[in-house]
Amino acid sequence: MTFQQRLILLVTGLVLLAVVAVTTAMAWTTRAALTDRIEAEARLAAGLLARGAAQARDIPQEVDALLSERLLSEATLTAHLVALAETAKLAPRALNDRLKQIAEAGGPDEMWITDNRGRAYLHNLPGPDPVFGQDAKAGPRHGAYAGLLNRSPASLASEPAMENGKLMKFAGVAGVDKPRIVQVGADVRRLGDIVRKSGTDGLIDGLLATRAVEAAWLLDRDGRVLARGAVMADGAGNPLSDADTAAAKAVVPGGDVTFRVSNGSLLALAPVKYAGPAATSAAAPAAAVPAVAMVRVPYTEPGAMLSRQLKIGGLVGIFVLALGVYACLRFARDQMAPVERLSEAVKAVEAGRFNPFTLNEAADRDDEFGRLSRVFRRMAMEATAREETLDAQLVMRGAELETKSEKLAAAEQLIEGEQRAARDVQANLLPRQLPVGRDSQFYGTLVPGHAVSGDFYDVIELDERYSLLVAAGVSGGGVPAAFLMLMVRGAIRETARAGVGPAAILANANERLCSESPFDGFATAFVAVYDRVAGTLVHAAAGHRGACRVTADGGVEFLSATGGQPLGVRRGAPYTEATVVLNQDETLFLCTDGVLRSVDGQREPFGEERLAAALAHSRGMSVRDRTEMVLRSVQAHAGTDGVIAGDLVCLVMRRLLPVTEAAEAV
């Protein structure tokens, strides 16, 4: 993907991410605001319905009490008016006309005044004079006043009654001048309409008229519906579900408004809080008193608003994305032009055909690309000049290198010749023939390393009975190692004779190497005097490892612990010796450090444990086969990733003389 494509993807991706983030945040914020508003409206509507239900219980009683007090006052005034009029000898007809004028001027709708026999001879309505207490259908509500002339005015209020299509309420008092009944009445139909409109039904109708409430209910404590209304007809029966009714029963009296979502709508449940007792009479038990006000408001607007906001955000995102891609293409094309020129200039520099004038347009810009173009042009010109200089120097260095290569080849040939000479010296110093006989079997081998290291072995017959066995290794390589090998071999052969032990031989070789060697090196050696008749082996080691005795049953015993320091390290170093007996078919195995220090790919040396394991597995083999098996084990351990540490030298001697013959020989 090119830089231009990555730039376009980055910018458009960031713009699209910003649009999505802003749209999502606005959508969720709008949804939360709408949800809060709907809950607030539902809380307000439920609270209003609950407070209205609590107040609607007391309004009719208070209105009735006020109306009763007014009617009693008017009846009392009428009684005094009639008494004054009769005292003034006013005729009944004139008095009736005056009562009619009072009624038309806003007084009581009906006024009935009886004589002491109960005949209503004074009244404002036309018609015959009824007799109170005799004909219940002949006049107004008069049955309730039979025999009530001695009652107090406060106890004379009656219930509303229908009179000639009117809803009437009457009140009466006793006369003030003589025994009589003074009754006044008022049409309360209009007052009933006012009470009904100000009650729960009117309140529910008012809530539904706002269209913000879908339905409203008033329920008692047992969950029965006392009043309800809906914007659309709910049909017969209770539209509330069992879960809604159960929620209404669970509302705590005196608690706060609770909410629940039901069928895509929000239900708000508010307890009705009364100032006094909830029921005032036996006709209105507590179960029939509104206890819970419930309103249902639509709850689909937040989801619809969220969907609408997301759609609008998606359309805006698509438009912004298209606009961003177009702007990015124009911007990238304008900004990438100098980069392309620089890329072409880099290729031209690599091909050796750079033309500085190709960057003039890019170098004339005032931005970072212009500065980069000018710097690159200057660097390219300097690089071209430097390359020409380097080419000239390269030709000169090539000639010098060719001369040095010829000298190096000559030096390598000289070194190779020296290595061949040292290798020939090493091979010529090894014994050409090892002792043979029925008492013992000898075998020695040397596998040379990449460079001459100076390791060697030697077998010297001191006389017919004793033989000297030597295995030695020299530090370093090349000609110095070969020279040290000559000194060590010469010192050992010079001292080797019958009666001289291995410790004396090593001490003499150490003194000679310390005093006469021109090189800073040392040597390790294992020297043993073998008695072919008795099978005894007197041995000593000078820092040498890899000497071991192999029993007939495959057991391995290392003999390198007895001796002293390597040769050539310190003058006067003492050396000790030890004696072992080789029995029938037991073997003395000697090797140099090249066998033990060869490593595998993980730099793990072959070591004495692997050497002992290889010798144990070679039980019953001849000395030659046993030696070859050890060398194969070393090469297998090194493998292709390991390193053979110098020369591999092995000297093996096996005793063959039976024990009985050895005893006879002694």
- The DSSP 8-state label assigned to residue 131 in this structure reads B
Helix (H) or strand (E) holding 113: strand 110-114
Q: Which of 620, 419, 618 is nearest to 631 (CA)?
A: 618
112 in any annotated domain = yes
In the chain, what's the furthest Cα-to-Cα distance?
196
Quote the percentage of the chain above a pLDDT of 90: 18
State mean pLDDT over 57-79.
82
- 608 with 650, same domain: the answer is yes
Q: Which of 645, 625, 626 is nearest to 635 (CA)?
A: 645
Q: How many CB atoms lie within 10 A of CB 122?
A: 23
In the structure encoding, which two tokens stand for residue 199, read together? 């009650």
Phi then psi dihedrals of residue 192, to 5 deg: -65, -40
pLDDT of residue 254: 76
- 516 with 496, same domain: the answer is yes
Q: Which residues pair with 32 in a beta bridge?
A: none
> What does pLDDT average to over the chain?
79
State mean pLDDT over 505-532.
90
- 517 with 474, same domain: the answer is yes
State mean pLDDT over 436-459.
84
Is residue 213 within 8 A of residue 207, CB to CB? The reply is yes
pLDDT of residue 192: 67
3-class SS of residue 271: strand
Greater confidence, 415 or 627?
Answer: 627
Q: Is 41 exposed, middle or buried (0-12, 13-18, 19+ CB in 10 A)?
A: middle
Around 604, how many Cα atoms within 13 Å sit in the side-chain half-sphere? 10
212 in any annotated domain = yes
- Rounded to 10 degrees, the C-alpha dihedral 514/516/520/526 comes to -50
CA–CA distance, 178 with 189 (Å, rounded to integer)? 34
Phi then psi dihedrals of residue 581, to 5 deg: -115, 125
Q: Is the pLDDT of residue 467 over 80?
A: yes
Greater confidence, 369 or 257?
Answer: 257
- 502 with 621, same domain: the answer is yes
State mean pLDDT over 101-115.
88
279 in any annotated domain = no
pLDDT of residue 11: 74
Quote the percentage of the chain above a pLDDT of 70: 85
- 478 with 606, same domain: the answer is yes
Greater confidence, 507 or 286?
Answer: 507
- 130 with 234, same domain: the answer is no
Q: Is the pLDDT of residue 351 over 80?
A: no
CA–CA distance, 580 with 564 (Å, rounded to integer)? 18
340 in any annotated domain = no
CA–CA distance, 104 with 563 (Å, rounded to integer)? 157
**Terminal C-alpha separation, the chain:** 95
132 in any annotated domain = yes
Please state at what angle helix 200-209 crosses helix 3-87, rounded to 10 degrees: 150
Helix (H) or strand (E) holding 564: strand 563-564
Give residue-wise pLDDT tens across range 451-464: 666 789 999 999 88
CA–CA distance, 124 with 238 (Å, rounded to integer)? 51
State mean pLDDT over 270-299.
66
Q: Which residues pair with 270 in a beta bridge?
A: 293
What's the pLDDT band for 566 if we cut at 50, 70, 90? Answer: very high
Q: Is the pLDDT of residue 374 over 60?
A: yes
State mean pLDDT over 134-153.
36
CA–CA distance, 292 with 47 (Å, rounded to integer)? 10
Tell me how far CA of residue 191 lies from CA of 141, 194, 251, 342, in angstroms.
Answer: 19, 5, 35, 98
- Mention every residue, 6+ apart, whose C-beta is less than 8 A from residue 478: 418, 419, 422, 451, 452
What's the pLDDT band for 242 if we cut at 50, 70, 90? Answer: confident
Segment among 287-291, 607-611, 634-638 with least mean pLDDT: 287-291
Listing DSSP states for 215-249 in one string gives: EEEEE-TTS-EEEEEESS---SS--S-HHHHHHHH
CA–CA distance, 344 with 481 (Å, rounded to integer)? 62
Q: How many CB atoms lie within 10 A of CB 126?
A: 7
What one-letter code names the amino acid at 153?
P
- The DSSP 8-state label assigned to residue 605 in this structure reads B
Give residue-wise pLDDT tens across range 40-65: 887 887 777 777 777 776 677 777 78
Q: Is the pLDDT of residue 238 over 50?
A: no
311 in any annotated domain = no
Q: Is the pLDDT of residue 240 over 60?
A: yes
- 622 with 500, same domain: the answer is yes
pLDDT of residue 661: 52
Q: How many CB atoms lie within 10 A of CB 64?
A: 17
- 369 with 513, same domain: the answer is no
- In Å, how far from its chain's centre is CA 416? 67
Give residue-wise pLDDT tens across range 152-189: 333 333 444 455 557 788 888 888 888 889 998 888 77
What's the pLDDT band for 336 if we cut at 50, 70, 90? Answer: low
Count up the domains in the chain and report the number: 4
- Which CATH number fits the domain that encloses residue 71? 3.30.450.20
Phi then psi dihedrals of residue 12, to 5 deg: -65, -40
HEC assignment per residue over 166-178? EEEEEEEEECCCC
338 in any annotated domain = no
Pairing mode of beta strands 440-447, 456-461: unpaired
HEC assignment per residue over 436-464? ECCCEEEEEEEECCCCCCCCEEEEEECCC
Q: Domain boundary at 410, 429, 448, which?
A: 429
CA–CA distance, 531 with 654 (Å, rounded to integer)? 12
CA–CA distance, 666 with 661 (Å, rounded to integer)? 9
- 26 with 171, same domain: the answer is yes
pLDDT of residue 232: 54
- 503 with 623, same domain: the answer is yes
CA–CA distance, 258 with 304 (Å, rounded to integer)? 24
State mean pLDDT over 640-665.
76
What's the pLDDT band for 234 if we cut at 50, 70, 90? Answer: very low
- In Å, how far from its chain's centre is CA 123? 96
Which domain, by its residues, includes 499?
433-665
Q: Domain boundary at 192, 208, 238, which?
A: 192
pLDDT of residue 581: 93
In the structure encoding, which two tokens stand for residue 95, read together? 């008095």
Greater confidence, 538 or 361?
Answer: 538
pLDDT of residue 157: 37
0.75 exceeded by pTM: no
Phi-psi region of 501 (alpha: psi -120 to 50; beta: other; left: phi over 0): beta
Positive/negative CA dihedral, 152, 154, 160, 165: positive
- Which CATH number fits the domain that encloses residue 555? 3.60.40.10
Q: Which of 425, 497, 438, 437 is nearest to 468 (CA)?
A: 497
Is residue 226 within 8 A of residue 203, CB to CB? The reply is no
- 177 with 207, same domain: the answer is no
- 216 with 291, same domain: the answer is yes
- The DSSP 8-state label assigned to residue 600 in this structure reads -
CA–CA distance, 141 with 132 (Å, rounded to integer)? 9
In the structure encoding, which two tokens stand for residue 170, read together? 């009457």
- Which CATH number fits the domain that encloses residue 227? 3.30.450.30
In the structure encoding, which two tokens stand for residue 403, read together? 């001369």
178 in any annotated domain = yes
pLDDT of residue 364: 74
pLDDT of residue 285: 46
Give residue-wise pLDDT tens across range 378-404: 887 777 778 778 888 888 888 888 888
User: What residue has token string 């003058």?
Assistant: 571
Q: Which of 655, 647, 93, 142 is nearest to 422 (CA)?
A: 647
Q: How many CB atoms lie within 10 A of CB 2?
A: 10
Q: Domain boundary at 143, 162, 192, which?
A: 192
Pairing mode of beta strands 536-542, 563-564: parallel
pLDDT of residue 221: 78
Greater confidence, 280 or 45?
Answer: 45
